[in-house]
Copies of this chain bind each other. A is one copy, B any other.
Amino acid sequence: MMEFKSCSGVFNRLDDEKKKMILSVSIKAFSENGFKSANINTIADNAGVSVGAMYKYFENKRALYLTCLEWSLMHLSSKISSVVDEEPDFLGIIEKIIRVIQEAKAESEPFNKLYYEMATESNAEFAMLIASQIEGVTSNLYAAYLEEAQKNNLIRQDIDPRFFAFFIDNLFIMLQFSYSCEYYKDRMQLYTYDDVFLDDARVREQAMRFIKGALFYSEEE
C-alpha cells in the first residue's frame, strides 16, 4: 500500500502494520531527541526489529529520517485535502483548519514535533529537500482562495494575497506548535491563562476574530 522512495525495496515489501510500527517509533525518537541523538539501536529495539534488519530497510540513518518525513508529508496532505473537500467557503476552511489543529493533538503530535525539529538549522541539510513539498501543499491553496475572494470583493483590496496567506499560515504554524510542543504550550498559557487547553472553542473564536479583522478591515482616510 504505502510506498516510500528513500528506503529499500525490502522495506516497501513489508506489510503496512510493520511499516507503521517502525516509522511511528522512529518519528517519536527523532522528534524527541533530534536527528543526531536519536539512537537507531534503541529504535530497532522499540520497534521489535533487529539492528541488522533496520540496515536492510534503510541505507543509513539519514534514509530512515527521510522516510519519516515522507510519511509525515502524506499525513499532512491527506488532512488538508479532507478539510478542503468538505468546506466550501474560505472562512469555513480557516475555522476547520484550526479545529483540525486542535483535535488532531494526540494523533498528529509526533508529526508536528518532527516538522518542528526538521526546520531547525541543524537539519538544514534535508530540510530543503522537503520544504517546498510541505509548503507547496498549503501555500498555493491559501493564496489562490484569497485571490479569488479578492476578485469577488469579499475581502479588502489593499493587501497582497500572498502576504496574507503567509501571515495566516504563520498563525497556523504557531498554533500547531502551541498544541504540540511543551515549550510553546507553556508559552501560550503564559500569554493567556492556565486552562486555555480546555477551551478550544474560545481559542478558535478569538483566532477567527483576529483573522477576520485582518481580512475585512478597510481603512477610511
Min Cβ gap A203→B in Å is 8
A160 to B32 alpha-carbon distance, docked (Å) = 34
- From residue A109, how far is it (CB to closest CB) to chain B in Å? 10
Judge if A162 is at the interface, Cβ distance under 8 Å.
Answer: yes
CA distance in complex: A211, B171 (Å): 12
Contacting residue for A174 out of B132, B170, B206, B219, CB 8 A: B170
Task: Kindly report how many copies of this chain are found in the complex they form together.
Answer: 2
Interface residue? A207 (CB, 8 A): yes
Contact B34 A120 (CB under 8 A): yes
The secondary structure that dominates the A interface is helix
Contacts of A162 in B (CB 8 A): 191-193
A60 to B107, CA, bound (A): 37
In the complex, the answer to whether B210 meets A163 with C-beta atoms within 8 Å is yes
A90 in contact (CB, < 8 A):
no
